[in-house]
A and B are shown apart, each in its own frame.
Chain A
Amino acid sequence: MALENLYQQLIMDHGRRPRNFRAIEQPTHQLEGYNPLCGDRVTVYLKVENGRVTDAAFQGVGCAISTASASLMTETIKGKTEAEVEQLFEAFHAMVTGKPVHPGVTLGKLSALAGVAAYPVRVKCATLPWHTMKGALAGAGQPVTTE
């Protein structure tokens, strides 16, 4: 598979200039995620009001894949209900691990990360922000790690 399938234009763009790369003051949910294998760290901030994500942001150090994944995630989940976010998590996870995605879910821009499925060692880069976000929503007090 060509390298460009992994590093698509959209990924390179979000990797270089991540959106929502900031802290949220007084978030309703916040959690740190860590991949001890590569040292990637991400902190996800969420503001959830009446069951809907009204703001999402992140900060941290990571590779192009994890940074782009976090950036695209925060863009995508903004405005979604918690139930919709849960569906997106499942669909995204299925996509990057090469499993069938539930036909009822639209991944939109997130599809740019589909190439990750061909790189098993990079799957954790793409899923770290998502696991962290899910942990934050669940109110987990402990930082999330991929190991």
Chain B
Amino acid sequence: MVTTIIEVVITGLLMGGLYALIAVGLSLQYGVARILNISHGEFIMLGGLTTWSLYTALGVNPLLSLAICGPLAFALGFVIHRTLFKRLLDTAASPGVFESNSMLAAFGLMFIIQNVALIAWGSEIRGYSYLTTPVHFLGTLFGANRLLTFGMALLIGLVFYLFLNLTRTGKAIRAAAQDPTTAGLMGVNINHMLALCFGLGAAMAGVGGVLISMCYPVHGVMGLEYTVIAIIVVVLGGLGSIPGSFMGGFILGLVGSIVTFLEPGLALVAYYVIFILLLLIRPTGLLGR
């Protein structure tokens, strides 16, 4: 009995760590840059497929791919914000107009990135086997790859959290999120910060994709599925809050594993019940402002 509980809880937490990591980026993009980035999942897909290619063609260790995909996704995101979203921001009459226009543009991005990926990789399922060995832990078994991805997700989340709270750039980002006008007056280069944020969000998605590919098959049309998960987690945790994203991820993971244990058919129903209930009871999320 105790073992079963431990298994269910840890299984949920392991999944939750991954959920959290892919949500952090989206949370940042919406919380600071006010862009509901529907193309978030496409960056995850790019990360996953790149890792697969590197691993199968060149034998590059997926952990090393983290260091490759993260910066690449960052650069892509940074450039996209600098060219596309900055222009939208400059021309938008009001924040509301910017939000709906940027969502529209993100849809466009989603279509473009997906199509390019289908051309480059095809739509076939891609998978590789990495560290799929059992590890004894707390009296039961867990996959080594899952423990590893969980550890990496926590580590990346923590580093990112410290970056936002301790470094000068991080503080500038938070200032830009709270009050862009005042932050601008205080000498923060707002446009630069927003592009940085969007890039960092994309980088998070990219490394999330690398970690996902260690446990799950990846393919060109997987993006939207993960975007949806990220949106649920972000709403659970509160928009713009990194600890919130982790909390939301863990809750979603736990609910998933408990309900799957009891009645797998209802697992996704449970996700959305929690999501909707939370919106009704506390719309700003658990740790939202």
The answer to whether A and B assemble together is no
Which residues from chain A sit less than 8 Å from chain B, CB to CB?
A: none
